[in-house]
Structure 1
């Protein structure tokens, strides 16, 4: 067996354990994989997400740091290892060096992505213009009592994964995770590239529901937890007048910091590599959401993350009541869920609800202050 084959075998096992929440076995397999290929950025980064570093002499951390001294290290491996080392240094309370790692990782990733914020700025402009010019003149399709979609939206890292995990514990809810279908079938409609009319709404609805049905058999109430669906709230409300939209909000400083320190593979998340891009995106997100909040035809329920984690029972009951579900005590212990989670929040939502995550940015306040003045 070649080193590459051995690495792939160990990595696949590690990823399977990781996905299922068996972090102890996942860590063992990631370490075996790194023995075979110590330069693997994705193995270092994945492992860093599920362990807490206790010492600078940690074997994996030493290996990762050594890889960064290799001028021949592939750029994609370099920035993923930088994210991993940054996470380790954060655990070890070396916040200045951790920040430098996150900053270097993001700059390199942004360069490789060839990303410019103007591309997202143009999308926000088109979304607002289409909402004002076309969407406001359309009437919603007919209600269908057989389904009740719950779209959980907000900025990434705002707490949407926790909210879906809470709802997944209810006996009448099928949690489907982050679905790409609203973006796949609705993006061109929402930005005005394709004509918007009643026929287009029906086609959008049919394609979305057809894809969801193939994805997983759903109960009457199902969730779609794609945070960036906040961009399509008016379009979705017209195509799905029976839908409920749960908008999760959080301290913007905590949101922006958490986006900055995490790696995201999705093209839609390329704004998250630098603090300048993130804060620009956050402001435009806020402006767009003000448009939706002013539209009484959208069944929009705002859920504050800080309130959810400090007054958990009351907020969960309020959420369930708005959706039209009876309270079930299982919703108060989302960490007991057995469902697989494939987001950056996996390790957090598998723990009992805790309240200190929104203050972690304070460890970096000296570095963040110039960026957060406008939030």
Structure 2
């Protein structure tokens, strides 16, 4: 009889004793095929060896056979979240949340799953539990702070970020987040510490990326734009060599995306009840602002940035590539029947819609899917945000995107950013030409800033919504904001970011040359 316990198995796995755990798990299954423990341990082995096809299946089996063990549901939720299947991850976190959680790491993991899925109000109690169980773990405080920030509780967020760096002076993401929360001044800034940490992180590309961006943001806040730009270059230098943008692959993907609308007449039947609103565009060009304006309306709810549509396309395409979005997947999508994708999209988001008539999905990169969205959901509204080319490229270059996804690799080099923008501009021209004007609307960030009411009326008319004065007070919207704009969109409109590129002197001359006639 094999006497392997959950605690024993986890301890052995922490020691990387994979073969021992594997062989004992197989013996446990041979002794009792309905014992959940071996499936769970084999799931961990699969996940830690990047077998993301098998790990969810094994965790699901463990959870089915051991529904009262929180580990099984939580690890299942975690791997689904890693795979971007946020709705499924949230469903498993819900199961775990009903069980007694006495372990700080498990509580933190549930919080992270909820946070990634956009349910920050559900995440907070678990982060609070994690820091109460283990108050000396810096990352638990960081996760707590991030969700608090997204919910607009800036006082708690700042306090928890400070706790994180107090416990771990090398928690670079916490330093960066602290810097981003408020304007830095000559009298109040962390430049000496940030520079010291940057120098110490000589062999840490991710650390230098984080700290360099924090230094650049500080210098920009203090009006030192050219120095800020030099620090952006320093911040990105090491990561740029690791994560080069593949221009050839980028061109192929943009070209294939064009074909997804014009190549196949098999579109879904129009359902007047299926009226999601997609807000798309380059990141940092006003997508969050429009989302907040629309979701301030009494009949509209924001679902945040969803990967659901892209996941459904990938599932239907059945391509073997490890990327959700790529040339091969778009090629396959151009000739496939998409009639079921729209219905699946609606059903997967019913919980997020709640009782509202309309839901906003503001995943910026859905601009690649505009043609497919119209085919699958003919009654959906697609709002494309535009912003001046120079400001768009600079805002993308300035932004610290997650390095987990290669989609943002273009932001490590200004000329790559210009290349990406030119391809994006060409794709938007294509969508303008082929999509109906009552389903696809381009709106300019600058126009919203300088004529808020007229542009708000334009947005509401396009979406078939009556006027609601609350949309003019979008900054009072209390819904979570899981983007880099979480602080800015809780303030009234301001024009300070328009024409920001002009403040950088000749540092952006190469960008201007690369963009050519685009403005």
Alignment partner of 1:67 is 2:197:
yes
Secondary structure at the aligned position of 1:158 is classed as coil
In 1, Cα distance between equivalents of 2:408 and 2:313: 18
What is the deviation of 1:263? 0.6
Given that 1:39 and 1:64 are in contact with CA atoms closer than 8 Å, whether structure 2 keeps it comes out as no
Q: Give TM-score scaled by structure 2 length.
A: 0.67
In 2, Cα distance between equivalents of 1:71 and 1:162: 35
Which residue matches 1:164? 291
Alignment partner of 1:119 is 2:249:
yes
Which residue matches 1:180? 307
What is the deviation of 1:283? 0.3
How is 1:204-353 mapped onto 2 (pairs within 5 angstroms)?
Answer: 204-217=341-354, 219-265=356-402, 267=405, 268-297=407-436, 299-353=439-493
In 2, Cα distance between equivalents of 1:293 and 1:337: 31
How is 1:77-92 mapped onto 2 (pairs within 5 angstroms)?
Answer: 77-92=207-222
In 1, Cα distance between equivalents of 2:168 and 2:443: 44
Which residue matches 2:161? 30
Which residue matches 1:94? 224
Q: Of residues 35, 41, 57 in structure 1, which corresponds to 2:172?
A: 41
In 2, Cα distance between equivalents of 1:322 and 1:242: 12
Query: Structure 1 pair 313/163, CA: closer, same or farther in 2 (3 Å)?
Result: same
Query: Structure 1 pair 129/10, CA: closer, same or farther in 2 (3 Å)?
Result: closer
Query: Structure 1 pair 63/73, CA: closer, same or farther in 2 (3 Å)?
Result: farther
Secondary structure at the aligned position of 1:270 is classed as helix
What is the deviation of 1:332? 0.1
Matched residue count: 369
Using CA pairs under 8 Å that are at least 6 residues apart, name the structure with larger relative contact order, 1 or 2: 1
Given that 2:245 and 2:416 are in contact with CA atoms closer than 8 Å, whether structure 1 keeps it comes out as no
Secondary structure at the aligned position of 1:193 is classed as helix
What is the deviation of 1:294? 0.6
What is the deviation of 1:279? 0.7
Secondary structure at the aligned position of 1:316 is classed as helix
Given that 1:14 and 1:25 are in contact with CA atoms closer than 8 Å, whether structure 2 keeps it comes out as yes
In 2, Cα distance between equivalents of 1:166 and 1:10: 31
Q: Of residues 362, 366, 371 in structure 1, which corresponds to 2:506?
A: 366
Given that 2:306 and 2:361 are in contact with CA atoms closer than 8 Å, whether structure 1 keeps it comes out as yes
In 2, Cα distance between equivalents of 1:204 and 1:350: 34
In 2, Cα distance between equivalents of 1:205 and 1:130: 15
**CA offsets per residue over residues 239-280 of structure 1, 9 Å max, x none?**
111111111111111111011011111622222222111110
What is the deviation of 1:46? 1.2
Secondary structure at the aligned position of 1:174 is classed as strand
**CA offsets per residue over residues 22-58 of structure 1, 9 Å max, x none?**
2233223212211221222211111121121112773
What is the deviation of 1:209? 2.0
Given that 1:38 and 1:63 are in contact with CA atoms closer than 8 Å, whether structure 2 keeps it comes out as no
Secondary structure at the aligned position of 1:155 is classed as coil
Query: Structure 1 pair 296/22, CA: closer, same or farther in 2 (3 Å)?
Result: closer
Secondary structure at the aligned position of 2:276 is classed as strand
Which residue matches 2:273? 146
Which residue matches 1:6? 137
**CA offsets per residue over residues 313-368 of structure 1, 9 Å max, x none?**
11101111121111010000110010110111212111101112112221114111
Secondary structure at the aligned position of 2:487 is classed as helix
Which has the larger Rg?
2
What is the deviation of 1:214? 4.6
Query: Structure 1 pair 117/46, CA: closer, same or farther in 2 (3 Å)?
Result: farther
**CA offsets per residue over residues 112-132 of structure 1, 9 Å max, x none?**
335423322221122234444
Which residue matches 1:192? 331
In 2, Cα distance between equivalents of 1:261 and 1:193: 34
Q: Give TM-score scaled by structure 1 length.
A: 0.91
Given that 1:106 and 1:260 are in contact with CA atoms closer than 8 Å, whether structure 2 keeps it comes out as no
In 2, Cα distance between equivalents of 1:9 and 1:150: 35
What is the deviation of 1:195? 6.7
Given that 1:3 and 1:36 are in contact with CA atoms closer than 8 Å, whether structure 2 keeps it comes out as no
Listed as ranges, the gaps of 5+ residues in structure 2 are 1-130, 318-328
In 1, Cα distance between equivalents of 2:276 and 2:201: 50
**CA offsets per residue over residues 61-112 of structure 1, 9 Å max, x none?**
3211111121555321121111111101111112222111112222322333
What is the deviation of 1:229? 0.9
Listed as ranges, the gaps of 5+ residues in structure 1 are none
